[in-house]
């Protein structure tokens, strides 16, 4: 099976089951928790990818780490992945689940690039403005780029608003050269 299709198929099955059981949001939190732990504990991913360690031991480790902290459905999902020798795809499955979740909930990703971090009040005002313009829930990702000098660049999916000082300087420079 194609490596890219495995996470998609498992994530589709998980989101369908989570929706049936009414735990869509909770399983999303579980998937974010899984990704966070895998990122902060690289040895766990090495354990999951190891052909030497038995499937039962891998499932035992996952259960020990997550039991009581995630939905029973999530534990069952880990068991299914391990049983089918797909545990190395768990990060991809988690990311795909989160993507499917956002799509199902109509959540759009917005990226805000600024020269300096913005305060909470400004961040909340921007989220409200974007929500009003696009009539959808927004997940705001913030990036800091000193090269912008000031202002911001806001990107919502394939639309971009460049209100940065460096962007304005580039426009002026272009106009002077034409």
pLDDT tens digit string along 123-156?
998 889 888 888 888 898 999 998 888 888 889 8
Burial 48-62 (b: 16+ CB within 10 A, else e): beeeeeeeeebbebb
**In the chain, what is the greatest distance between 2 CA atoms, to the nearest angstrom?**
68
Mean pLDDT lowest for which of 10-24, 33-47, 121-135? 121-135
Indicate the DSSP class of residue 53.
S
Higher local confidence (pLDDT), 122 or 78: 78
pTM of the model: 0.78
Closest by CA to 163, choosing from 177, 143, 149, is 149
Number of Cβ atoms within 10 Å of the Cβ of 163: 12
> Can you state the angle between helices 72-83 and 5-21, rounded to 10 degrees?
150
The per-residue pLDDT for 159 is: 86
pLDDT at 2 over 70: no
Tokens representing 135?
């009539």
């Amino acid at each position: 099976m194609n490596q890219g299709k495995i996470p998609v198929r498992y994530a589709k099955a998980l989101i369908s089951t989570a929706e049936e059981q009414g735990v869509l949001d909770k399983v999303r939190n579980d998937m974010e928790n899984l990704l966070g732990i895998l990122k902060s504990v690289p040895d766990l991913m090495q354990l999951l990818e190891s052909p030497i360690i038995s499937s039962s031991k891998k499932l035992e480790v996952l259960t020990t780490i997550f039991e009581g902290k995630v939905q029973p459905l999530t534990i069952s999902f880990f068991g299914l992945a391990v049983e089918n020798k797909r545990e190395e795809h768990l990060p991809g499955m988690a990311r795909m689940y989160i993507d499917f979740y956002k799509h199902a909930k109509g959540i759009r990703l917005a990226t805000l690039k600024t020269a300096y971090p913005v305060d909470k009040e400004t961040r909340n005002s921007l989220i409200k403005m974007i929500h009003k313009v696009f009539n959808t829930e927004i997940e705001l990702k913030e990036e800091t780029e000193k090269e912008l000098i000031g202002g911001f660049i806001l990107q919502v999916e394939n639309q971009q608003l460049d209100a940065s000082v460096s962007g304005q300087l580039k426009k002026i420079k272009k106009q002077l050269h034409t």
